[in-house]
Amino acid sequence: MLERIRIVLVEPSHPGNIGGAARAMKTMGLSQLVVVNPKRFPDPQADWRAASALDVLDAAQVLPDVDAAIADCHWVVGTSTRLRKIPWPVADAKDIAAHVAAQLAAQDDRTRIAILFGREDNGLSNDELRRCNYHLQIPAAPAYSSLNLAMAVQVVCYEIYQASLSEPAVTPWDRTLATSGQVNAMLQAMEQTLTDTHFLDAANPGQTMTRLRRLFSRQQMDETEVQILRGIIKHMGQVK
Amino acid sequence: MLERIRIVLVEPSHPGNIGGAARAMKTMGLSQLVVVNPKRFPDPQADWRAASALDVLDAAQVLPDVDAAIADCHWVVGTSTRLRKIPWPVADAKDIAAHVAAQLAAQDDRTRIAILFGREDNGLSNDELRRCNYHLQIPAAPAYSSLNLAMAVQVVCYEIYQASLSEPAVTPWDRTLATSGQVNAMLQAMEQTLTDTHFLDAANPGQTMTRLRRLFSRQQMDETEVQILRGIIKHMGQVK
């Protein structure tokens, strides 16, 4: 079950953190590591910190951007310490872990979950955070709340492993969940049509698309729902 | 409250882990670090990994052995991954954290708690583990359960911080708790008297003292109880 969870490190600077994250994952039963545009990787420091998790490190995928890392995922979580201008659904590590475990138990074997961890110095960008269904915050001391990157991976994986040990309540769904890529493509078509039909001002679009993105990220959409919305968007483009 | 918890790293090999532990502690509101007989410390690598927790690192006490690190503590926990020949009370990180928070809320301001973390390669010795009231195990994947030292500190401090946020049930006690040093001195007097009176065979003492140590470690003793036992031991030595 835990092999359906992907840990995504976005533009890490220090290879030691990539190795540390791999070890943290393996101690908690996770194995799918994706590294987006790393500064230095592979690197001997990553190997050293991985200790006996070299297999996780060696199997890590290196990808050029976040979209490539999450396109086929059905639920995407972004770790974040800042509060956003437009608030997104937020939960702590424990609640996210419980939800992850429940989803993996409920859905079919193809369900993929991605958890994004941002850069050591300034986390995930606003644009990356808007790609996420949920934001995750690790409870930490207000005086110094900045966990090391690999430590944050350890805490989140620890909670996921603990949640996976208990039997979550299973609520089966009647449709296949939409992937992040499908939802994103639908939102892009929506933005295009809303601009073409002059609902949005191309020169000054404001926050409307962010708010729509948040609306459709809050619940996980299934493929039928995405198809219905795409039908409506297409229809709207034709009747302008 | 959290300043009454002491994190004790026993003979760490890698200075990076000492710095990483300091950072892990500070992100969870802890500040009291003790390092027992480190291989390399202070060290630039420790400073680097500590990031903005240099204050915790600079205030760390370096001591020659575990007894010096815990003598004035009232509850001592040892992290352990192995099962012992004579089983000791064991709890996971979450339950230990709940107990720590409840104790700190219940007892007076002088109550001190120590949590021991062992060597990177082979943990705490049997003798060190017998100094503990409780053993702590972090739930981990059976295939690779060896967390990095600083990562283990992060997980335990994270659980303690979470437990400290909720209001634990308070059960006040009518006597001052005994320190680890007082209980240890009582046990040494007991061993001496049991040997002098030939209850124990000095040449072949067996596991009797370990079992007695476990008995008196399981509950936290208060000072009155220790005094009563010392009275009995003294009496026994005189009537032989």
What token pair was written down for B159?
């659980």
Interatomic CA distance for residues B158 and B154, integer angstroms: 6
Q: Count Cβ–Cβ pairs < 8 Å, chain A vs chain B.
A: 88
CB contact under 8 A, A158 and B155: yes
Average pLDDT score, chain A: 91
B130 domain residue, yes or no: yes
Pair B73, B11 in one domain: yes
pLDDT in tens, B2-15: 999 999 999 999 99
Interatomic CA distance for residues A99 and A94, integer angstroms: 9
The contacts of residue B223 (CB under 8 Å, 6+ apart) are: B175, B176, B177, B178, B182
B174 domain residue, yes or no: no
Higher confidence at residue B200 or residue B220? B200
Average pLDDT over residues B21-40: 98
A173 domain residue, yes or no: no
Pair B76, B153 in one domain: yes
Q: Which candidate in A52, A92, A144, A159 is best for mutational testing of the B interface (most B CBs within 10 A)?
A: A144
Q: Which candidate in A23, A94, A158 is best for mutational testing of the B interface (most B CBs within 10 A)?
A: A158
Domain that holds residue B16: 2-165
Pair A188, A157 in one domain: no
Model confidence at B171: pLDDT above 70: no
pLDDT recorded at residue A187: 93
Instruction: Name every chain A residue with its beta carbon within 8 A of the beta carbon of B153.
Output: none
The nearest CA of chain A is from the CA of B128 a distance in Å of 25
Pair A158, A96 in one domain: yes
Pair B147, B222 in one domain: no
The sign of the torsion formed by the CA atoms of A55, A18, A91, A114 equals negative
Pair B41, B135 in one domain: yes
Model confidence at A148: pLDDT above 70: yes
Query: Which CATH number belongs to the domain containing residue B201 in this structure?
Result: 1.10.8.590
Average pLDDT over residues A210-232: 86
Q: Which of A124, A25, A122, A34 is nearest to A70 (CA)?
A: A34
pLDDT recorded at residue B140: 95
CB contact under 8 A, B161 and A155: no
CB contact under 8 A, B23 and A148: yes
Place of tokens 């009518």: B174
B175 domain residue, yes or no: no
Nearest to A144 among B27, B151, B162 (CB): B27
Interatomic CA distance for residues B163 and B167, integer angstroms: 8
Average pLDDT over residues A177-190: 92
Pair A14, A42 in one domain: yes
Query: Which CATH number belongs to the domain containing residue A67 in this structure?
Result: 3.40.1280.10
Pair B132, B24 in one domain: yes
What token pair was written down for A188?
């892009």
Percent of chain B's residues with pLDDT above 90: 65
CB contact under 8 A, B139 and A162: yes
Percent of chain A's residues with pLDDT above 70: 95
Q: Identify the bridge partners of residue A108 per DSSP, sorted by sequence position.
A: none
Decide: residue B90, CB within 10 A, 0-12 exposed, 13-18 middle, 19+ buried: middle
Instruction: Name every chain B residue with its beta carbon within 8 A of the beta carbon of A148.
Output: 20, 23-24, 49, 51, 154
Instruction: Name every chain A residue with its beta carbon within 8 A of the beta carbon of B143.
Output: 26, 29
Q: Is the ipTM of this complex over 0.90?
A: no
Reported as a pLDDT band with limits 50, 70 and 90, residue B206 is confident
Higher confidence at residue B175 or residue B116? B116
Average pLDDT over residues A158-164: 96
Higher confidence at residue B198 or residue B108? B198
Percent of chain B's residues with pLDDT above 70: 95
Reported as a pLDDT band with limits 50, 70 and 90, residue B132 is very high
The nearest CA of chain B is from the CA of A19 a distance in Å of 11
A56 domain residue, yes or no: yes
DSSP E strand stretches across chain B: 5-10, 32-36, 61-63, 75-79, 90-92, 113-117, 134-137
Q: Which of B79, B88, B68, B89 is nearest to B123 (CA)?
A: B79
Domain count, chain B: 2
pLDDT recorded at residue B138: 95
Pair A53, A133 in one domain: yes
Model confidence at A1: pLDDT above 60: yes
- Contact B40/B67 with Cβ under 8 angstroms? no
Interatomic CA distance for residues A6 and B143, integer angstroms: 19
CB contact under 8 A, A144 and B53: yes
Q: Which of B114, B130, B165 is at the close of a domain?
A: B165
Model confidence at B154: pLDDT above 80: yes
User: Backbone phi, then psi, for A170, in 5-degree steps?
Assistant: -105, 120
The contacts of residue B219 (CB under 8 Å, 6+ apart) are: none
Is residue A34 within a helix (H) or strand (E), and if so which, with residue range? strand A32-36
Q: Which of A127, A146, A115, A142 is nearest to A84 (CA)?
A: A127
- Give the nearest chain A residue to B51 (CA atoms): A148
Model confidence at B59: pLDDT above 80: yes
Q: Which of B23, B33, B217 is nearest to B115 (CA)?
A: B33
Pair B6, B125 in one domain: yes
What token pair was written down for B180?
């680890």
Q: Which of B106, B136, B165 is at the close of a domain?
A: B165
B219 domain residue, yes or no: yes
pLDDT in tens, A2-34: 999 999 999 999 999 999 999 999 999 999 999
Higher confidence at residue A82 or residue B78? B78
- Give the nearest chain A residue to B14 (CA atoms): A49
pLDDT recorded at residue B168: 66
Reported as a pLDDT band with limits 50, 70 and 90, residue A176 is confident
Q: Which of A130, A165, A200 is at the close of a domain?
A: A165
Instruction: For residue A27, give the 3-state DSSP assignment.
Output: helix
Nearest to B141 among A28, A141, A151 (CB): A28
Q: Which of B7, B108, B112 is nearest to B60 (CA)?
A: B7
Instruction: Name every chain B residue with its beta carbon within 8 A of the beta carbon of A154.
Output: 147-148, 151, 154-155
B124 domain residue, yes or no: yes
A170 domain residue, yes or no: no
Pair B59, B86 in one domain: yes
Interatomic CA distance for residues B177 and B111, integer angstroms: 8
Reported as a pLDDT band with limits 50, 70 and 90, residue B43 is very high
Q: How many CA atoms lie within 13 A of B108 on its CB side?
A: 8
Pair A90, A203 in one domain: no
For residue A15, is the peptide bond before it cis, meaning its omega torsion is within 30 degrees of 0?
Answer: no
